[in-house]
Amino acid sequence: RVDEAWIRALPKAEVHIHLEGSLGLADLLGLAKAAGAQLPFPADRLFGGATAGAGDGAETGLSSFLRFLDWGCGLVATPEQASSLAYRFAARQTASGIRYTDAIVNPGHWGQWTDRVPALFAAFADGFDEARVDGLAEVNTCVSLSRGQSASSARELVEQITESRPPRVVALSIDGDEHRSGPVSHRFAEAFSLARDRGLRRTVHAGESSGPEGVRDALDHLHAERIDHGIRAVEDPALVGRLRDQQIPLGVCPRSNVALGLYPSWEVHPFRHLRQAGVAVTLNTDDPAVLGTSLETDWSVSSQIWGLDRSELRDLARTSVTASFADDDLTNRLL
Ligand code: ADE
Ligand code: ZN
């Protein structure tokens, strides 16, 4: 097993991590206290409670987990609180040796910002700017649509963001529960094409709660440049060939997939199969606070379970940088 200190020292990027799922216990307790709000679960089981719906009837691990994110982010009321969360996020990424992050942020979780979404992103950018001044890692944001939202609200969000242009927003994304909404290609095609015209990059959660058809849909109709998760592409060999030939990177998050019940264990997770097939896979945490992990822990566990040696981890670090939406200058410095 490659040790975590060696992994921390490796310059790398993280391309699939949600700001919402990265708020730490201290962040959440501080926000709850400031808001005078009760915790949904006792403090010592706060994150354990978040995914406890797995397997109970209509409630899935993912849906109870998404509601937990609504609770935590719903406590954030002021730009200072948002900037401070962003700054602390950059500090944690830096501590893992992550030099650049594409952080996914879905404004739907931030209930007090519905009418002022650009201001929320501007507040995060202030925190990331302050982090840069202090020598911490670079972080940009991917503004994310919820799977279930309407075509018109998706288009309006892209219009607002691209007209007001808060700093550091580099991409449009989709996350949320694929089960609850069916295919999004037609509903979101207009929002994605507007984003493309206005210079945003494109990444889509697919092939997690949907099968390979979700991945194909994102490539064909939304012109996704990267797929978040994407692992269920493995069920369709022609699609695996397409991902390899077009070198579409996958933002894979094995711990999240196992925690949310997609695969019973890391041993049977398709990461290694996809990598051996020549797909540009990256290894990410998704929601590290809720999952109780860090990137170096997950890379170290991967090295042990999947037999990745140091040269393969170096290669994984290079892929993380080329798969990211970092600008050319930073990319060249990290390679
Ligand atoms: N939002 C945060 N984490 C997510 C995941 N794993 N899938 C979908 N939406 C998410
Ligand atoms: Zn995700």
Structure tokens at 310: 């140091």
What pLDDT, in 10s, does the model give residues 57-87? 455 678 888 999 999 999 999 999 999 999 9
| Domain at 4-327: CATH code | 3.20.20.140
Spell out the domain ranges in the chain: 4-327
Question: From the CA of 260, which ligand is nearest?
Answer: 1
Question: From the CA of 14, which ligand is nearest?
Answer: 2
Whether 280 contacts 242, CB under 8 Å: no
CA pair distance 159, 120, nearest whole angstrom: 15
CA pair distance 245, 237, nearest whole angstrom: 12
Mean pLDDT per 10-residue interval, the chain, length 335 residues: 97 98 96 97 90 56 88 98 98 98 98 98 98 98 95 98 98 86 84 98 93 95 97 98 98 95 96 98 97 97 98 98 98 96
C-alpha to C-alpha distances, 14 to 93, 189, 223, 235, 281, nearest whole angstrom: 9, 27, 21, 25, 12
Structure tokens at 331: 């990319």
Q: 141: Cβ–Cβ under 8 A, 6 or more apart, which residues?
A: 19, 102, 103, 104, 105, 121, 124, 125, 168, 169, 170, 171
Closest atom of ligand 1 to 208 CA is: 7
Whether 61 contacts 53, CB under 8 Å: yes
Distance 228 CA to ligand 2 centre (A): 6
Strand order in the sheet with 98-105: 12-18, 98-105, 138-146, 169-175, 201-206, 226-229, 250-252, 281-283
What residue has token string 């410095």? 333
The dihedrals phi and psi of 238, each to the nearest 5 degrees, come to -65, -35
**Which residues, in sequence order, are bridge partners of residue 138?**
100
Distance 310 CA to ligand 2 centre (A): 26
Closest atom of ligand 1 to 253 CA is: 6
Whether 317 contacts 9, CB under 8 Å: no
| Contact 256 CB / ligand 1 (< 6 Å) | yes
Q: Quote the pLDDT of residue 48.
A: 86
| Contact 228 CB / ligand 1 (< 6 Å) | no
What is the value of ipTM here, to two decimals? Answer: 0.95
In 3D space, the residue among 169, 62, 187, 73 whose CA is nearest the CA of residue 121 turns out to be: 169
Residue type, 287: D
In 3D space, the residue among 26, 76, 61 whose CA is nearest the CA of residue 46 turns out to be: 26
Whether 5 contacts 311, CB under 8 Å: no
Q: Quote the pLDDT of residue 210.
A: 86
CA pair distance 179, 313, nearest whole angstrom: 33
Q: Quote the pLDDT of residue 55.
A: 47
CA pair distance 140, 236, nearest whole angstrom: 33
CA pair distance 331, 207, nearest whole angstrom: 27
